[in-house]
Structure 1
Amino acid sequence: MEKRVINPWEWQKKRSYVQAVEVKKAEATLYIAGQTAIDENGNSSTGNMKSQLLQSIQNLEKIIAEAGYECRNIVRLNIYTTASEEFFECFDLFEQWINKHHIQQASTVFEVKSLFETLKIELEATLVK
């Protein structure tokens, strides 16, 4: 697989994403449905944004590993949140995860009216290998 990052500006580097990712000669593509802070029994979290973000990341990582991919192969990551201000208050946690796995993804943050039950954040990813 060949991956090329297109970043005509520098400012987005401070926000832990890139403007575009071109993929050539990919062996496979994995589309992951939005991952939230729902536990293995299907119970929605009632926790704060930080704890929900952590659980959402853990759930995303579990699916990525089960599928035989690596987090560094995320090329698109959409973030849905019911409270963007709260999300950006714990953005450092998100950035640490991005940096840990050397992820360079095209990304969009959407503030939505609601998510399932008590959920505040949802992560939807596309990966290639």
Structure 2
Amino acid sequence: MAHNIINSSKAPAPIGPYSQATLANGTLYVSGQIALDAESGNLVNDNIENETHKVMQNLQAILAEAGMDFSNVLKCTIFVKDLNNFGKINETYGSYFTSNPPARETVEVSRLPKDVNVEISCIAAK
């Protein structure tokens, strides 16, 4: 199957052997994003709302590189270190989907890359 690798300089470079996203047959598979700032390389983790906003901004940059936006997102997966943060994460995440939000699951995990509190991946299509 033919596919294109999508990388945005406005989102953090991968920290392992993976691409930011892969586009195949009009469907974009975006790797999990954490709250790394692409310019400074620093984590944005002063509070869960700012951390979630940065994750969403990283997703937005990758979507834009593929000519898409949040209206193209079909499904998201949210990984959280502590479900007690779910309300704040959910409110921040929801501000990016003003109508017709995508399918989603949220999973609590024991640890995430760089010990962040939230990681989000998505699937989008044109």
Answer yes or no: same fold by TM over 0.5: yes
Whole-Å Cα distance in 2 between the matches of residues 35 and 123 of structure 1?
A: 5
Whole-Å Cα distance in 2 between the matches of residues 27 and 114 of structure 1?
A: 33
Partner of 1:89: 88
1:67 Cα deviation after fit: 1.1
Kept in 2, the 8 Å contact 1:34–1:124? The answer is yes
Kept in 1, the 8 Å contact 2:70–2:96? The answer is no
1:80 Cα deviation after fit: 0.5
Partner of 1:35: 33
Whole-Å Cα distance in 2 between the matches of residues 115 and 95 of structure 1?
A: 22
Q: Structure 2: which 5+ residue stretches go unaligned?
A: 1-23
Q: Structure 1: which 5+ residue stretches go unaligned?
A: 1-25
Higher relative contact order (CA 8 A, sep 6+): 1
Whole-Å Cα distance in 2 between the matches of residues 117 and 77 of structure 1?
A: 21
1:103 Cα deviation after fit: 4.0
- Structure 1: which 4+ aligned runs deviate by more than 3 Å? none
Whole-Å Cα distance in 2 between the matches of residues 45 and 94 of structure 1?
A: 16
User: TM-score under structure 1 normalisation?
Assistant: 0.71
Kept in 2, the 8 Å contact 1:74–1:103? The answer is no
1:27 Cα deviation after fit: 5.5
Q: Percent same amino acid at aligned positions?
A: 27
What's the RMSD between the two structures over aligned residues?
A: 1.8
User: TM-score under structure 2 normalisation?
Assistant: 0.73
Whole-Å Cα distance in 2 between the matches of residues 27 and 117 of structure 1?
A: 32
The number of aligned residues is: 102
Kept in 2, the 8 Å contact 1:35–1:122? The answer is yes
Whole-Å Cα distance in 2 between the matches of residues 90 and 124 of structure 1?
A: 14
Counterpart among 110, 114, 118 of residue 115 in structure 2: 118
Partner of 1:105: 102
Whole-Å Cα distance in 1 between the matches of residues 104 and 33 of structure 2?
A: 15
1:90 Cα deviation after fit: 4.3
Kept in 2, the 8 Å contact 1:56–1:123? The answer is yes
Judged with a 3 Å threshold, the aligned counterparts in structure 2 of structure 1 residues 37 and 95 are, in CA distance, closer, same or farther, namely same
* Largest Rg, 1 or 2: 1
